[in-house]
Amino acid sequence: MKTYCFAEQKIILTEEARIHPSDIGLTRGYGIFDFFRTVNYRPLFLEDYLDRFINSASHTHLPLSYSKKELTEIIGMLIDKNDLKQGGVRMVLSGGVSANHFSPAEGKLFIFCEDLLLPGEEKFRNGVKLITEEYVRPLPTIKTTNYSQAVFSSITWKEKNAEDVLYFHKGLISESSRSNIFIVQKGRLATPQSNILNGITRKNVLKLVPETEVRDITLEEVISADEVFMTSTTKRLLPVTQIDDHIIGNGKPGPLTLSVLENFKAEEAKSSN
């Protein structure tokens, strides 16, 4: 089926989108993006995602020539044109073609509609494994396209049958490569406060469970937690049952994880009506 995207300031066939390869988005890996889902044709938590995208552009000195209102209109048109009932929308802003091949310039904006790649049902039933890696994403609070280290490491995760990575630094955990992390200790949720992307799913879990502690969390605490889960746009809440060689809790998805996941799904359904 033909899909359409927003590129060169208009809606065109996705296969016809192009960018010049001397854009520093490619030659220097300098750009920003964001990604959200549609539920029943509605962009879920759109306001939050657009605020973050606009903030990422501003922090990285990349001019974005569309307002939040204009972006909302373009996204609405794209969802219609692609009949995107349940899907993903990816916004990308490149660093631009720069005279010195280095400094931020005026980039290109692309908005793509994509099929969703959701975790299989068995991952929610059995939980997933993470492997630890000492690393802090540069500019962790900004949604840059800088995933070079994670893409490289992903070859190792796969060899070890892991879903993803758990980053830590100086003994404190931060996040996974594209997800936030929560732990459950004696019935109470906690999530790291530093060196993380402020995930929109994380934000909504914090709304659902406002008594969650937002604080520093050590690697030891995670390994000995009763439950661990990761949050992201495509994963919602995904139970983590193993970290390196350590089994979390009894090795099965925990009751609080599954209960918050049900509440999140109910919230999501409400938002899309």
Q: Select from 186, 265, 174 the least CA-distant residue to 227.
A: 186
Residue 4 interacting with a second copy (CB under 8 A) = no
Is the CB of 93 or the CB of 248 nearer to a second copy? 93
Select from 22-30, 75-83, 189-197, 219-227 the region that touches a second copy (CB under 8 A): 22-30
Query: Interaction with a second copy in 154-213: which residues (CB under 8 A)?
Result: 154-155
Q: How many residues bind a second copy (CB under 8 A)?
A: 49
Residue 108 interacting with a second copy (CB under 8 A) = yes
Residue 28 interacting with a second copy (CB under 8 A) = yes
Instruction: Please enumerate in sequence order all residues whose Cβ is within 8 A of that of 168, keeping only pairs 6 or more positions apart, or say none.
Output: 132, 133, 134, 174, 219
Q: How far apart are CA 23 and CA 28, in angstroms?
A: 8
Q: Which two tokens stand for residue 237?
A: 């809440």
Instruction: Please enumerate in sequence order all residues whose Cβ is within 8 A of that of 66, keeping only pairs 6 or more positions apart, or say none.
Output: 74, 109
Is the CB of 136 or the CB of 209 nearer to a second copy? 136
Question: Which of residues 2, 148, 210, 211 is near a second copy by CB under 8 A?
Answer: 148
Instruction: Look up residue 18 and give its amino acid.
Output: R
Residue 87 interacting with a second copy (CB under 8 A) = no
Is the CB of 33 or the CB of 168 nearer to a second copy? 33
Look-up: residue for tokens 């049902």? 121
Q: How far apart are CA 65 and CA 177, in angstroms?
A: 29
CA-to-CA separations, 210 to 85, 130, 203, 235, 255, in angstroms, rounded: 31, 26, 10, 21, 18
CB 224 to a second copy: min, Å: 29
Select from 44-52, 107-115, 192-200, 251-259 the region that touches a second copy (CB under 8 A): 107-115
Residue 33 interacting with a second copy (CB under 8 A) = yes
Binding mask of the shown chain, residues 36 to 75, with x at each position contacting a second copy by CB under 8 A = ------------------------xx--------------
CB 254 to a second copy: min, Å: 27
> Does residue 156 come out as left (phi exceeding 0), alpha (psi in the -120 to 50 range) or beta?
alpha
In this structure, are residues 228 and 184 in contact, taking their beta carbons and an 8 Å threshold?
yes
Q: How far apart are CA 201 and CA 180, in angstroms?
A: 8
Question: Which of residues 46, 84, 92, 228 is near a second copy by CB under 8 A?
Answer: 92
Is the CB of 146 or the CB of 185 nearer to a second copy? 146
Q: Select from 128, 193, 136 the least CA-distant residue to 163.
A: 128
Binding site for a second copy (CB under 8 A): 7, 14-15, 17-31, 33, 60-61, 90, 92, 94-95, 100-104, 108, 110, 112, 114, 117, 135, 138-139, 144-152, 154-155
